[in-house]
Structure 1
Amino acid sequence: MANPISLATTAEPRLATTRFSLATLSMLALLAAGVGAGLYAFVVGHPHAYAVTREVPWGILISTYAFFAITSTGLCLLAAIGHAFGGTPLAPLGNRAVYLSIVTILSGFLVIGLELESPWRMAIYNVISPNLSSNIWWMGTLYGLAVGCMFVEFFAILTGRWGVALAIGGLGALAEVGANTNLGAVFATLSARPFWYGAQLPVYFLCSAVMCGAAAIILFTHVSYRMRGEAVTGDTYRGLQSAGKILALTAFLIVVATAWRFISFFTGGSDSARLAVSHLLSGPLATNFWLFENVVGLVLPLVLLVGTRMQSVPAMSAASLMVLVGAFFQRYDLVVAGQQVPVWYGWDDLPSYMGYAPSPVELLVVLGGIGLTGAGFLLGERFFGRVFGQGHH
């Protein structure tokens, strides 16, 4: 039977504190700064505000959008698994995962909306002039369908319509998988960019989604309990352990996939692909790749998770934070490295390297996306905290 929505039954009164309000206002300030920077770019012109060029048209805003979108997919998939198979240890994490999936995809939409010069044209022509052969069209359409499904699913959770939530959640998960793999195909089908081209990226993005989703639900669940002054116990603790195992497995798979992808470039790839890889291994992006993407994002989390055997929630939370930081740099390195070798590579008297560094305005927009995620999480814990504590459908 459906239940009416009431803040008296969903809100968490223990979070109505000055400290919590200040944290929320700080996140909202980041969001305002990011939106203000994006509006500034609209006024002065994107070429003047952003560091992207005709030769390097995709920068940190594209990679940040991919980071949020991929994380949203992972959260949605974990929620669907927990809800569809209610007896699984992931079930207690499902409601929070649905909400966080909505927040992260909206953060991605914010960043990509401020990256485009005419986002309203995208919305209009996406409907009245669809290009069914375009991966970008399918990606945007399926992510739009997915976020609509997740809104309906979360409303059904709030009102106790468990059957509706389960059915719509399954549809949303399928839409997220389709959108995520099409996002990978946006890069993988560009034969002019050998560093991206190939069949691996759609599957790589899907594996990254599960990794980031597991990391996000572990981190945010731990933070939510810390804000309440509670220890993570019982079913929620077992759910975090299961998410930690998923995180460790997918992080290991990412290590294997990255190693074999790079090996394939040096054994049978083109010269321009090998040059792009060299920029990551020993060139301008080497610090990003070795320190943040691999050591911080993969090696240290695996050491923490395996060393503690998923018995310590703080250790799992720290590993999750490192994985998310590393994943952010993974997306950035993938996007930028693929463009730093120009399509005319090999011609005489033309540059063989195209540099890119984010502008301050771009960095503010990125902070705006992070601010939206942080504010959305905090407001969700304040007004829907009791719903997140419910087990499963």
Structure 2
Amino acid sequence: MKINKWTILSAAFILFGLAGAANIFIHGEHAMGTTNKIPWGILIAGYEYFVGISTGLLLVAALGYVFHVKAIIPIGKSLLMFAIFSLISGFAILLVELGNPLNFIHYFLTPNFTSPIWWMAPLYGIYLMLLVTLTVFVVRENESLIRPLAIMTAISALVALICIGFLFGFIIARPYWNGPISPLYFILTSVFSGIAMASVIAYLHGRKKTRKNLETVKFLRTLSLSMMGVMVVIYIGKTFVGLYGQVPGKYESLLALLTGPLSFNYWVLEISLAIVIPFVLIVSAHKLSAIKLGLAGLLSLTGIFFMRFNMVIAGQITPLKVVKNPAEETVFNLFSVTWSEWALIMGGIGIMAMLYLQRELLERIIKHKPATELKRHGDVTL
């Protein structure tokens, strides 16, 4: 394994994440920014972010392995491997957020089949199992089994995303989350994050300007612009419906995003980074540019993280009330993020990066290459 600056940086991120996890395990909820009024914080958003990237990457890869889109095939293997790495990061963050891993024993012994939270574990477990199996078949080039397994994995990814959508959409007490559109929202935003990460991966592959790489960049450019258009429609629809309907709870949460305590996160860190700046970068390129596409993807990924964070916090920032007094001034619950929580998010990024840097070693292990053929592993120069 070659140790370079990126390996050292990834290891530093992981160590910082471990320090944050240790602080949370030692001090419990006091080390986190969650409160009784806002019980779900940035770690829930981080979990959604990483699993969203994973399922999004799988769905993008499915375009190649299910629908035979040739432009995806050159990076398909990397998309699948990164999907696994991202899912591992998401699971690691959720494990710390739960506080006591032993609670899983009670979870399995007393199942609640009517709860979307209960279904998330088996559904994502099935998805992970199928994803790993599909990746092994792709690495070993078992052509006859790739397409049917890719179909099953894509279906499992969609079902898992729908389950997360139900988890938020079923919560009647949180009007901002509640509604039938929530599953569709999670599917579309996950695809958006998958396209953004695929753009970064395409840049890493596209430094050698081969014909196949150029086709990949061109296809992802079109896909990115199309998905940005879809997201703009979603934003406009949610905003106008929320402002016009003025549904108690949902209206105040929307105000918190547009002009309230979340407005900077919303306009600068979410809208600008996820859509506006990447759109300008891609459109302004006079010719196909893997560098600009990769940078646009990286900016979108940053904005999508704050999209997840804003969604989680906005749903809880409005105080719970049985009946709202029209004459009462709108107030918002206070929220904060501690260093331990930021450390865990950075640790998740470090896990993804470290595993990706060692993907060549993992590929050789999957292929069962003898020790004499293992020359250099994880030789990635970024």
TM-aligned CA distance change 1:304 to 1:350, over 3 Å: closer
Structure 1 length-normalised TM: 0.86
Q: Which of the residues 336, 359, 369 maps onto 1:380?
A: 359
Q: Is 1:293 aligned to residue 276 of structure 2?
A: no
Deviation string for 1:165-197 (max 9, x for gaps)?
333232121111111121122111111111111
Q: Write the distance in 2 (CA, Å) between the matches of 1:324 and 1:246.
A: 15
Q: Which of the residues 4, 9, 12 maps onto 1:29?
A: 12
Give the corresponding residue for 2:324: 346
| AA matched with 1:157 | V
Give the corresponding residue for 2:63: 81
Q: Write the distance in 1 (CA, Å) between the matches of 2:352 and 2:91.
A: 12
Q: Write the distance in 1 (CA, Å) between the matches of 2:269 and 2:20.
A: 26
Give the corresponding residue for 2:245: 268
Q: Which runs of 5+ in 1 are unaligned?
A: 1-15, 388-393
Deviation at 1:272, TM superposition (A): 2.2
Moved more, 60-69 or 31-40: 31-40
Q: Which of the residues 250, 255, 261 maps onto 1:284?
A: 261
Give the corresponding residue for 2:291: 314
TM-aligned CA distance change 1:349 to 1:31, over 3 Å: same
Give the corresponding residue for 2:375: none
| AA matched with 2:280 | V
Deviation at 1:198, TM superposition (A): 1.2
Q: Write the distance in 1 (CA, Å) between the matches of 2:63 and 2:310.
A: 31
Give the corresponding residue for 2:236: 259
Q: Which of the residues 336, 341, 356 maps onto 1:362?
A: 341
Deviation at 1:114, TM superposition (A): 0.8
Give the corresponding residue for 2:92: 110
| AA matched with 2:109 | I
Deviation at 1:23, TM superposition (A): 1.3
| AA matched with 1:38 | A
CA contact under 8 A between 2:79 and 2:201: conserved in structure 1? Answer: no
Give the corresponding residue for 1:96: 78
Deviation at 1:253, TM superposition (A): 0.7
TM-aligned CA distance change 1:28 to 1:287, over 3 Å: same
Q: Is 1:193 aligned to residue 171 of structure 2?
A: no
Q: Write the distance in 2 (CA, Å) between the matches of 1:200 and 1:381.
A: 40
Deviation at 1:22, TM superposition (A): 3.0
Q: Which of the residues 184, 187, 194 maps onto 1:206?
A: 187
CA contact under 8 A between 1:214 and 1:244: conserved in structure 2? Answer: no
CA contact under 8 A between 1:139 and 1:180: conserved in structure 2? Answer: no
Q: Write the distance in 1 (CA, Å) between the matches of 2:88 and 2:249.
A: 36
RMSD: 2.3
Percent identity over the alignment? 27
Q: Write the distance in 2 (CA, Å) between the matches of 1:350 and 1:251.
A: 36
Q: Which runs of 5+ in 2 are unaligned?
A: 368-382
CA contact under 8 A between 1:153 and 1:166: conserved in structure 2? Answer: no
Q: Which of the residues 148, 165, 169 maps onto 2:129?
A: 148
Deviation at 1:309, TM superposition (A): 7.0
Aligned length: 364
The equivalences for 1:52-63 within 5 A come to 52-63=34-45
CA contact under 8 A between 1:265 and 1:273: conserved in structure 2? Answer: yes
| AA matched with 1:346 | K
Report SS of the residue matched to 1:271.
Answer: coil
Q: Write the distance in 2 (CA, Å) between the matches of 1:294 and 1:351.
A: 24
Q: Write the distance in 2 (CA, Å) between the matches of 1:269 and 1:85.
A: 43
Q: Write the distance in 1 (CA, Å) between the matches of 2:69 and 2:47.
A: 34
TM-aligned CA distance change 1:80 to 1:276, over 3 Å: same
Q: Write the distance in 2 (CA, Å) between the matches of 1:314 and 1:26.
A: 21
Deviation at 1:150, TM superposition (A): 1.1
Q: Is 1:171 aligned to residue 152 of structure 2?
A: yes
Q: Which of the residues 318, 321, 328 maps onto 2:305?
A: 328
Deviation at 1:139, TM superposition (A): 2.3
Q: Is 1:242 aligned to residue 219 of structure 2?
A: yes
Deviation at 1:125, TM superposition (A): 4.1
Q: Write the distance in 1 (CA, Å) between the matches of 2:236 and 2:106.
A: 40
Q: Write the distance in 2 (CA, Å) between the matches of 1:382 and 1:87.
A: 28
Deviation at 1:88, TM superposition (A): 3.0
Report SS of the residue matched to 1:340.
Answer: coil
Structure 2 length-normalised TM: 0.89
CA contact under 8 A between 1:341 and 1:352: conserved in structure 2? Answer: yes
Report SS of the residue matched to 2:249.
Answer: helix
Deviation at 1:86, TM superposition (A): 3.0
Deviation at 1:95, TM superposition (A): 1.0
Q: Write the distance in 1 (CA, Å) between the matches of 2:111 and 2:144.
A: 33
Report SS of the residue matched to 1:119.
Answer: coil
| AA matched with 1:24 | T
Moved more, 161-170 or 251-260: 161-170
Q: Write the distance in 1 (CA, Å) between the matches of 2:251 and 2:330.
A: 16
Q: Write the distance in 2 (CA, Å) between the matches of 1:176 and 1:97.
A: 14
| AA matched with 1:322 | L
